[in-house]
Amino acid sequence: MSNSNPNNGGLEALHRLKSTEPPLFLAPSPDLSQAARLASKYVFSLLQPHCPKSPFDNLLVDEFDAEQIWQRIDIQSQPLVSNLRRELNKFEKNPELVSKGFDRFKDEKKTQEREIEEQYDEMDGYYDDDGDKMDGLDDEEEMDGLDEGEDDDDDEEEEEEEEEEKGRIAGIEDRFLKVKELEEFLEDGEARGYGLQKKKGNRKVDKKKKSEGSDEEDEEEGEDDEDDAEDEDEDEDEELGDLGFSDDDDEGLDKLGNARLMLWTRLVRGDKAKIVVDCCYFGIIMIEEKGFKSKSKPIKESEDSDFGNDEGSGSMHEEILSTHEREHMRHQSDIEQMEKVNLEPKTWTMQGEVTAAKRPKNSALEVDLDFEHNIRPAPVITEEVTATLEEIIQKRILEGRFDDVQKPATLPSKAPREYKEMDENKSKKGLAEVYEEEYVQKTDPASAPLTFSDEQKEASMLFKTLCLKLDALSHFHFAPKPVIEDMSIQANVPALALEEIAPVAISDAAILAPEEIFAGKGDIKEEAELTQEERKRRRANKKRKFKAETAKRIANKAQTTIWAKLRIIVKSTAYMSSINKKNPLTTEAAASLLPPDNMPAKTPITAAVPQLTVPGNLVLP
Amino acid sequence: MFRRNQRLRREYLYRKSLEGKERLLYEKKRKIREAFQEGKPIPTELRNEEAALRREIDLEDEHTAVPRTTIDDEYATASEKDPKILITTSRNPSAPLTQFVKELKFVFPNAQRMNRGGQVISEIIETCRAHDFTDVVLVHEHRGVPDGLVISHLPFGPTAYFSLLNVVTRHDIKDKKTVGTMPEAYPHLIFENFSTKIGERTSTILKHLFPVPKPDTRRIVTFANQSDYISFRHHIYEKHGGPKSIELKEIGPRFELYLFKVKLGTVDQNEAQIEWVSRPYMNTSKKRKVLGD
């Protein structure tokens, strides 16, 4: 089938998309959608011949969902990319093929593809303006949709490609960043040197923009690559800058004549993103490199268009800048960049005191916060530490040196309490007597009877009598001490009686009752008062008493005479035994046998008579 | 009870206020003594009072010569009575913290443990004063690990705030047989490397948690200071064989204490004067050793 009509339709669609204002893309319109579908179909068909295993002949866009269309594109691009990789490896091994390939295509396709590239560039420019299509992308780095209508699809596709490129870049790096080859190329390209100065400057600017702006891994990797590359071949940059690929991103590739060189240099430099190239398939190149468009698009576009016009002329139309000017330009771009950064608000880490509300969520976890700790860190308890501690303890135990609480030296705070021993016996004095004594003490203390204990009283009495006797003996004119009248308390008077009003100097006789004065047992009555019978009775009592007495006396006498006789016997026996030496009996022993001298008279005679053996040859006097 | 407390507090404050004057007097006497010893003329500002002061100097003995400080005055009568300690926790303690507190109850002789429940600190302190407790110990935690210790001496005594580090409890050692039971005899105390004034103060605070021990106990509690971190260890020793052999067996929990504040009031007195507080954000705090050498 002829593709011309659909191609034209596709081209027209592309044109139309290009001409629409960017904000219009935000609102869903069937018109734009239709245009987008046509355009994607067109591009798909362009690519389709180059894809060996393409399952679809053309992209059916009419009734399908965006998601489904994208899936198809994806299916096509997967084998396509691997194919390209293979081709690339082939070219790597045989560089001559590249030139052949370029020559072949130079004339045929250049117009067509240049157009396409331009359009793509422009559209990418639109996409740049539209800003983020995907979440997670930084502003400065866009994944631009290849397919205008299906933004997300293409973005994802390009992301994929980008990732593959990343992988490829690493591989490329290893093979291509060889100093020798680079040096060779440097020598080769010296001639072109000055024409490329300007371009190089721009590229560096772009690179720097990219490096400053983004956090994406690709770019960082790319930075590393670029830095390496830059370090190694600055001269090369000059040369390469000319080719119209001022931007790291797809750069024009518009120059067909330079495309081959461009590719080659890119290969050599290990430039990321650009190198995915099948020299024949500029469209593909463009697709793959689309992902790395930067904001410098407008500049690029102009340059690209310039370059597009000057096919084959290479970079020679650039002005020749001196070293100083180049430096100057570089500094200017740096300054611009820094000023731009300074005008923006700072990141939260640089903002001084930041509360949780002012920084994004969980951002403190990602940042490596560093504090200076002025405290000494806690000790880690190792075996050695424990061993040293135990040593110290053991030493202290052996010395017996502990830091215990000391009991304080007990100063007597008050005098020791006097413990009065309670006498538990009942007091001999009654309470009334106690009160009496107190009264006496109060009124007449001199005459108060002194309270002595019984023993004391007895002792004092004895002493008094002794003193009296001694005084009587010792003093010539002894005058006994006058008796001091002391108030003596008569106990046997009923209280009522005392309360009678009686004169003070009253004799005992009046106070005491006669029975109390004289409690007599004997003969109370006098003889004059006696009656006859009483007289007789008295006499009879007397006689009876007398008789009893005399009888007792006689008995006593008898006893004493027996005792006297016994005494004599004992004495004589003692004498005898002293002479008779066989059985000596001392006088004390003999005396002990005798009853004691003050033996009472009434001891019966029969008792306590010692048994004496009287020797036979004794002659009693 | 309330009035008694007020009166005691007033007396304490009065004595503290006298401290300044006493110190002045002491300084003057010291100057005069020095002047006499060195044979120098008496400083002119003391000329008028010289005679009176000299008489006082003659009458001094070793007790009165040293000016009395009210710091440590709280412990003047503490050694006469055995200490009585109450141990509680912060609110809603976890199970490991309650276990640790139970262990601490056995470490300090004559200590009692109380559930915290929802009591306010001031209530706790009031009841303890009423029941004649001498010290209150509060233990704080972080997710099961004990991390804070507050020791407050009760009749308006000083409060010491410690952080606990590297805590190893008896419950961590799962095998009950190796750990054995804890004896409850009054222990001997060892304080190692408390040489500065604050070190002495800390050691008196810790010392008066324990009663007077018998001289022949075999239980030892050690507080060893190393660069401001106090290691607490609890051992039993046995003397086998010869005179020089001592076998130590560690029982009881083991932790490091780090003192960060000493206040001159009880825990519930927020506005009490701070005797000493650690300054970790000072530039020279790494070089300073506060408790020992």
pLDDT band for A254, please (50, 70, 90 cuts): very low
C-alpha A460/C-alpha A464 separation (Å) is 6
Any CB–CB contact under 8 A between A411 and chain B?
no
Whole-angstrom distance, CA of residue A219 vs CA of residue A248? 11
Q: Is the pLDDT of residue A169 over 70?
A: no
Distance CA B260, CA A614 (A): 117
Res. A195 pLDDT band, cuts 50 70 90:
low
Judge contact between A243 and A258, C-beta under 8 A. Answer: yes
CA distance B30 to B24: 10
Give the span between the Cα atoms of A59 and A324, in whole angstroms: 54
Place of tokens 């106070």: A511
Contact A379 B256 (CB under 8 A): yes
B233 vs A: CB within 8 A:
yes
* Residue A157 to residue B231: CA distance in whole angstroms: 65
CA distance B172 to chain A (A): 16
**Banded model confidence at residue A106, pLDDT cuts 50, 70, 90:** low
A521 interfaces chain B, CB cutoff of 8 Å:
no
B160 strand-pairing partners: B151, B262
Are A41 and A150 within 8 A, CB to CB?
A: no
Interface test with A, best of B134, B168, B188, B236 (most A CBs within 10 A): B188
**How much is the pLDDT for A441?**
86
Res A98 pLDDT > 70: no
CA dihedral B78, B79, B81, B83 (to 10 degrees): 70
> In 3-state terms, what secondary structure has residue A509?
helix
Q: What percent of chain A has pLDDT over 70?
A: 51
Q: Would you call A408 an interface residue with chain B, using a CB distance cutoff of 8 Å?
A: yes
Show Cβ contacts of residue B140 under 8 Å, excluding neighbours closer than 6 positions. Answer: B89, B90, B146, B147, B148, B149, B150
The reported pLDDT for the residue numbered A507 is: 52
For residue B240, give how far its alpha carbon lies from the nearest alpha carbon of chain A (Å): 13
State whether the Cα torsion A179-A185-A191-A197 is positive or negative.
negative
Number of H helices, E strands in chain B: 7, 11
| pTM of the shown model | 0.42
Compute the distance between CA of residue A294 and CA of residue A248 in angstroms, rounded to an integer. Answer: 8
Say if the Cβ atoms of A389 and B258 lie within 8 Å.
no
Q: Is B117 left (phi over 0), alpha (psi -120 to 50) or beta?
A: left
Q: Does B248 touch chain A (CB under 8 A)?
A: yes
Of A389, A404, A407, the CB nearest to B189: A404
Is B266 buried (19+), middle (13-18) or exposed (0-12) by CB count in 10 A?
buried
Q: Taking 60 as the threshold, does the pLDDT of residue A297 lie above it?
A: no
Cβ–Cβ below 8 Å for A378 and B229: yes
Mean pLDDT of chain A: 68
Cβ contact, residue pair B190, A393, below 8 Å: yes
Minimum Cα–Cα distance from A398: chain B residue: B244
Residue-averaged pLDDT of chain B:
89
- Tokens matching residue A54: 């393409």
* Pairing between β-strand B145-153 and β-strand B188-192 as defined by DSSP bridges: unpaired
Q: A413 and chain B: CB distance < 8 Å anywhere? A: no
Instruction: Kindly give the pairing relationship between strand B85-89 and strand B111-113.
Output: parallel
**pLDDT exceeds cutoff 80 at A8:** no
What is the mean pLDDT of the segment spanning B218-239?
A: 94
Residue A304 pLDDT class (50, 70, 90 cuts): very low
Q: What is the dihedral of CA A470, A473, A474, A476, to 10 degrees?
A: 140
d(CA A387, CA A398) in angstroms, rounded, equals: 16
pLDDT, average across residues A143-159: 45
Residues of B in contact with A389 (CB under 8 A): 222, 224, 231, 233
Question: Is the pLDDT reported for residue B272 higher than 60?
Answer: yes
Report for A34-43, A207-216, A400-409, B68-77: range of highest mean pLDDT: A400-409
Lowest-confidence range among A531-535, B153-157, B223-227?
A: B153-157
Position A63 scores a pLDDT of 75
CA B139 – CA B163 distance, rounded (Å): 10
Interface probe with B: pick from A376, A395, A410, most Cβ of B within 10 Å: A376
Burial track A423-433 (b if 16+ CB lie within 10 A, e otherwise) = eeeeeeeeeee
pLDDT number for residue A396:
93
Rg of the Cα atoms in chain A: 77
pLDDT band at A133 (very low <50, low <70, confident <90, very high): very low
Q: Which residue type occupies B133? A: F
Identify all chain A residues contacting B235, using CB atoms and an 8 Å cutoff.
Answer: 390, 393
Residue B138's DSSP bridge partners are B88, B150
Question: Nearest residue of B to residue A396 by CA position?
Answer: B190
Amino acid sitting at position A488? S
Interchain CB contact of B79 with A (< 8 Å): yes
CA dihedral over B202, B206, B208, B214, signed as positive or negative: negative
Question: Can you tell me the mean pLDDT for A287-313?
Answer: 44
Kindly report, residue by residue over B62-103, the tens digit of the pLDDT: 777 777 666 667 887 788 889 999 999 999 999 999 999 999
Of B166, B212, B283, the CB nearest to A374: B283
Q: At what angle do helices A256-269 and A151-176 cross, to 10 degrees?
A: 60
Where does the pLDDT of residue A393 fall: very low under 50, low under 70, confident under 90, or very high at 90 and above? Answer: very high
Confidence of residue A535 (pLDDT cuts 50, 70, 90): very high
pLDDT at A267: 52
Say yes or no for a CB contact (<8 Å) between B256 and A381. yes
What pLDDT does A621 receive?
54
pLDDT above 50: residue A312 = no
* Min Cα separation B83/chain A (Å): 11
Q: A568 vs A139, A142, A590, CA distance in Å?
A: 164, 168, 11
**For residue A383, pLDDT beyond 90:** yes
First CA to last CA distance, chain B: 43
8 Å CB contact of B286 and A376: yes
Contact indicator for A66, A150 with CB cutoff of 8 Å: yes
CB contact under 8 A, B237 and A406: no
pLDDT winner (highest mean) among A313-317, A354-358, A490-494, A615-619: A354-358
Strands B219-226 and B229-238 come out as antiparallel
pLDDT at A402: 94
Q: What is the mean pLDDT of residues B172-196?
A: 86
Residue A381 contacts B where some CB pair is shorter than 8 Å: yes
pLDDT at A509: 47
Q: What angle do CA A562, A564, A567 make, to 5 degrees?
A: 110
Average pLDDT (B255-270) is 93
Listed residue (B286, B219, B143) closest to A376, CA to CA = B286
Cα–Cα dist B220/B234, whole Å: 6
| CB within 8 Å: B237 and A397 | yes
User: How far is Cα A610 from Cα A595, in angstroms, rounded to an integer?
Assistant: 9
Exposure string for A172-194, b = 16+ CB within 10 A, e = fewer? bbeebbeeeebeebbeebeebbb
Res A269 pLDDT > 70:
no
Residues A465-479 have pLDDT tens digits of 998 888 888 887 877
Question: What percent of chain B is modeled with pLDDT above 70?
Answer: 98
Residue A91 pLDDT exceeds 60:
yes
Percent of chain A scoring above 90 in pLDDT: 13
The pLDDT value given to residue A244 = 41
> Is pLDDT larger for residue A585 or for residue A425?
A425
Question: What's the rounded Cα separation, in Å, for the pair A106 and A438?
Answer: 156
For position A303, what pLDDT does the model report?
Answer: 45
Residue of chain A whose alpha carbon sits nearest to that of B214 = A404
- Residues A51, A70: Cα–Cα separation, whole Å: 17
Whole-number pLDDT of residue A121: 53
Considering only CA atoms, which of A71, A66, A74 is closest in space to residue A148?
A: A66
Do B226 and A393 lie within an 8 Å CB cutoff?
Answer: no
Strand duo B85-89 + B229-238: pairing = unpaired
Instruction: Report whether pLDDT(A23) > 70.
Output: yes
Set of chain B residues whose Cβ sits within 8 Å of the Cβ of A393: 190, 220, 222, 233, 235, 237, 248
Please tell me if residue A374 touches chain B, with a CB cutoff of 8 Å. yes
Q: Is A389 on the interface with B (CB under 8 A)?
A: yes
pLDDT, tens digit (0-9, with 9 covering 90-100), for A216-248: 444 444 444 444 444 444 444 444 444 444 444
Arithmetic mean of pLDDT, A483-490: 70
| C-beta atoms of A392 and B244 within 8 A | no
A608 lies within 8 A of chain B by CB: no
Interface test with A, best of B186, B208, B222 (most A CBs within 10 A): B222
* A-to-B residue pairs, Cβ atoms closer than 8 angstroms: 85
Encoded tokens for B286: 């790494």
pLDDT confidence bin for B277, thresholds 50/70/90: very high
| Bigger pLDDT: B210 vs A185 | B210
Candidate from B188, B233, B256 with C-beta closest to A402: B188
Q: For residues B228 and B216, is the Cβ–Cβ distance under 8 A?
A: no
A376 touches chain B (CB under 8 A): yes
If you compute the radius of gyration of chain B from its CA atoms, what whole number of angstroms results?
23
Mean pLDDT confidence for A441-455:
74
- Torsion angle of C-alpha atoms B207, B210, B215, B217, degrees rounded to 10: -120
Burial class (CB in 10 A: 0-12, 13-18, 19+), B282: exposed
Q: Which residue has the higher pLDDT, A393 or B7?
A: A393
